[in-house]
Structure 1
């Protein structure tokens, strides 16, 4: 069955579930998730500075540690529309990993632009819905750390809904991420795409403290036609959000590949296209 059909059915189910839940508001979903996004985009005139640290670990035999440190400026110029400008540094520590050169380096990667528009707000609709487009240009390949010109765009449709007023919120993300990579040592351009569906549930045990988890499923394809599946993986892990003060916040998330399979292999994980473990730490402050 075509992937588009699965995505459409998932969106239909999510809309049906969320629309049948009693209306509530109170939890701001903009920053409470680790690897996912919420439908809230902030208030008009709001400005924030954010640092996001992401680590990716383990590709089977050998040592694989990769990390990215992003610095981002978030602006909400008008109601329901958010702009985020960012730049990042990446580090790689790779040794004896099949298919990858040994490497130990830290370098500046490039810049990113994230645009989000909220079409439905939970205050006036049965559920929140936001469409996000994040574009990124990089000087290195994010997996191998090799010199390359890489450009990728992630299109995300985010839904969320408070299922228990002021206590529990559920979210669904549907994503499509095409990437172009041209390695400095090669004359060819690689084209690939990752399609994903993610679900999260967070509960507010105390004001400003939310605990929960995220489950994310990805399918990776060679080329843009969605007909050459190269691998798939399911990530599951906990997420915690802390409102540190009136202006500052912290989100911590850990995700483990619980199941996966690379095309042509019988292994229980796909460590060719994905990592075994991923972690993220996000700190933000309003000004």
Structure 2
């Protein structure tokens, strides 16, 4: 049953809700409007988001604050080198009646903060694969459904740092967005220090329930998209694949491999959601471009020549845009 009289009214409601969430999160997080937008676009598109940055840039605080603004269950999993897969999914234990009983792990929540996900070995990282793709976990041959809605919002330290393990490509591809956090400006850092060195705490109100978020997720999928926008998105992804007819000279020279079809899907979904929160009823090419870097950043791999010549992923993506 629809919560609104028409899809136009529903899109307007989504745009209003987005702005309200931005306002509430902005009471705690200073100057990260684009990052907050990316996380919310991923949530409303039913996708997962990977936040990458050096320690101390409020990645964890951002996810915690968003979870406080949304009326959803929330669990934080601190990824460490000794973390085991069963510490995430749960395990079967032998009960007093001599029968096995499944004890749910912290993955059974609406919002999962996978904190410093690349500080645990790939075997444990892979424990999230089924949860992220199927919204379920299988233990002892029995599949357990996860609550809806379900999002993994992961933080990652740069892989050049000590004690980190690169995420497997299969896991990276499960994330809709890869978002880079940079240092704040001088004025922003002044405000951060002022706000965090006093006893003042922000009062946050709940903006959306789980049912409302699920409704908006279905709404985003129902937003119409024109053929020229679809063609642009798929063509953009095709251009990232070296050795194909669509590839540019820069791609052939600097990339080992490009993005797969999942990138095209996330480009279109992200563009739909980006348009909706901006108050538009159908995405255009600018909406695809707005989400392209976050969608493609972790799906294309540079070769040695690109690394030697200092050609960044962002420069390659901008050349395609």
Query: Fold-level match, TM-score > 0.5?
Result: no
Higher helix share: 2
Q: TM-score, normalised by structure 1?
A: 0.25
Higher relative contact order (CA 8 A, sep 6+): 2
TM-score normalized by the length of structure 2: 0.23
Give 1 or 2: higher strand fraction. Answer: 1
